[in-house]
Amino acid sequence: MYTAEINRSHPACLLLLIDQSTSMNETWAGTGTSKADQLALAVNRLLGNAVLLCSKGDDRVHDYFDVGIIGYAQGAAPVLHGSTAERPLLSIGELARNPKRVDPVIRKVSDGAGGLVEAALPVPVWVDPMSDGWTPMVKAVELAESVISQWCREHPRSFPPIVINVTDGASTDGDPRPEAARVRATATGNGETMLFNVHLAAGPRQQVAFAASAEGLPDRNAAMLFDMSSPLPPPMISAAKRLGYQVDEGARGFLYNAEATALIEFLDIGTRAVTPTGLRELTSGSDSMR
Amino acid sequence: MRPVALEVRLYSAQKAGRVSTENEDSVGGDVRTGRFAVADGASTSARSEMWSQLLVDAYVQGSNPFAADVLAQLRRRWRELVMSPDLPWFALRKIEEGSAAAFLGVTIDPDQRAFHAIMVGDCCLFHIRRGQLLSASPLDRSDQFSRFPELLSSRSGDDPKEPVERIGQLRDEDVLVLATDAMAKSLLRVFETHQRILPLDMMTRSRDDFSRKVASYRQRGYLDNDDVTLCVVWA
């Protein structure tokens, strides 16, 4: 399980669920900006990196991933620029060619002769910060299940989907655990869908990363998100360990009271997880990064 | 000492399921100058087919890509070739990340019956005498291939890794094989298992023979599905 080659015929799928409730407008501990701002930054960065991974340096982008984002606040709906209720997932190529906008960001880059010069690097944006509404997590996970189950039917030989839910609060439309179980029960021939959960810290609190049991979790909401989360597959455990996390056997894709850097690392691990065993075509050969 | 006469056959094939323009390996050679090279462009880097070709061409034409002035020139040339004003944002960003390739160059002095090789990464040189493997460099076991070999980068800030150098003497009918990683690994694996060398002569009789053998080895699991490049030099 979790060993399928990810290639253009058998792409992988990444679906993000993003809490856009009013509380996301609060300042995130230590960042000086709101949780919504930081989350939009992290998501745009993740998508940008995913595009670059599939780009060859010209107009080609190889479609190794299908990507979607479901936002939840006033109900739950696809919010990735270019996606619709009918087409909630986009190929990475479509994503690359159709950002909401491309912001020029001044950075120091190589001048090609050993020096550095300031240049405007194009930074794409697909999602803007939003924070207006409740936290209808049940609806969001329900929609995810419908999107993912259809994708699995259409891609029976693909690496199983990865769904990452990012929230700063508790569900306001009921207990999402049954819906989460249904998401985790969807599968391709290569394994069950992985559902991971990240909870953003409201203030300076003890962060819990990759717990292997619900014992000692700070509150009921943490226990609920833990219950919703899938165990980490071995490549992801290795990726988390490489980033310095203490990860025990049975650890789940679960982060509670997350700090900003931890969110970025978690999203990074989530997409890197498939690389060691999965991206064979992308990495040119069964064992090679070339 | 009678000078050694050289004969070369060189072939490259893209991964199964791809088209030939997607092949990121490059190969070149010239029996008149005795210079031969292979390079394997990193798939995750930008326009690596262009970078590997520049490295090979430079070497075959008499330059050393590891020399600071040559490398700087190649890096500028790569940038000129890949940049164009109408590139999309992702291409511009990818180009900023640069390109990279494993590289192996071999120069044979027919008068001295000697060869000198220079390499970085996991492109391998095999010295074969009467069907026996005399040496393999820089890797000599199939389990030494990794996902992160050292590479020669197109980024101007990246200092080139110290290349591995090898020298040797050639006798009549010796064979030098330059191979990118998939074929190198396969050659070593077959040697480790059966103490024999893959039938290089048969394999390289024609482009069709090479393509057929590559497809057959892939199907039988002897060869990873990767770009495959072989340069066989007979003394």
Q: With an 8 Å Cβ cutoff, is B181 touching chain A? A: yes
Pull the structure tokens for residue A214.
């619900």
The confidence score (pLDDT) of residue A115 equals 73
pLDDT digits (tens, 9 = 90+) for B53-69: 999 999 999 999 999 99
Please judge whether A288 and B181 are an interchain contact, meaning their C-beta atoms are less than 8 angstroms apart: yes
| A105-114, A219-228, A262-271: range with lowest mean pLDDT | A105-114
List, in sequence order, every residue forming a beta bridge with A163; answer none if it has no partner: A15, A195
The confidence score (pLDDT) of residue A279 equals 40
Looking at residues B2-8, what average pLDDT do you find? 89
Q: With an 8 Å Cβ cutoff, is B226 touching chain A? A: yes
Q: With an 8 Å Cβ cutoff, is B225 touching chain A? A: yes
pLDDT digits (tens, 9 = 90+) for A167-207: 998 899 999 999 999 999 999 999 999 999 999 877 667 88
The confidence score (pLDDT) of residue A113 equals 64
pLDDT digits (tens, 9 = 90+) for B65-118: 999 999 999 999 999 999 998 999 999 999 999 999 999 999 999 999 999 999
Does the pLDDT of residue A108 top 90, yes or no?
no
3 state SS of B81: helix
Does the pLDDT of residue A280 top 50, yes or no?
no
Does the pLDDT of residue A216 top 60, yes or no?
yes
Looking at residues A243-258, what average pLDDT do you find? 90
The confidence score (pLDDT) of residue A117 equals 82
Please judge whether B82 and A57 are an interchain contact, meaning their C-beta atoms are less than 8 angstroms apart: yes
A287 vs B17, B46, B147: nearest CB: B147
Nearest to B14, CA basis, from B157, B170, B182, B129: B182
What value does the mean pLDDT of chain B take? 94
Chain B residue numbers with beta carbons less than 8 Å from the beta carbon of A289 are 42-44, 147-148
Does the pLDDT of residue A224 top 50, yes or no?
yes
Can you give the pTM of this predicted structure? 0.87
A121 vs B72, B93, B182: nearest CB: B93
Query: What amino acid is encoded at B234 in this protein?
Result: W
Complex-level ipTM:
0.84
The confidence score (pLDDT) of residue A114 equals 66
Q: Which long-range contacts (CB under 8 A, 24 or more apart) does B9-12 make?
A: B9/B204, B9/B230, B9/B231, B9/B232, B10/B36, B10/B229, B10/B230, B10/B231, B10/B232, B11/B204, B11/B207, B11/B210, B11/B229, B11/B230, B12/B227, B12/B228, B12/B229, B12/B230
3 state SS of B86: coil
What is the DSSP annotation of B100-117? EEEEEEEEEETTTTEEEE
Q: With the C-alpha atoms ordered A41, A45, A48, A54, is the resulting torsion angle positive or negative?
A: negative
Looking at residues B26-50, what average pLDDT do you find? 96
Looking at residues B208-221, what average pLDDT do you find? 94
Looking at residues B132-151, what average pLDDT do you find? 93
Query: What amino acid is encoded at A142 in this protein?
Result: E
CB neighbourhood size of A255 (10 A): 28
The confidence score (pLDDT) of residue A278 equals 39
pLDDT band per the 50, 70, 90 thresholds, residue B126: very high
pLDDT band per the 50, 70, 90 thresholds, residue A37: very high
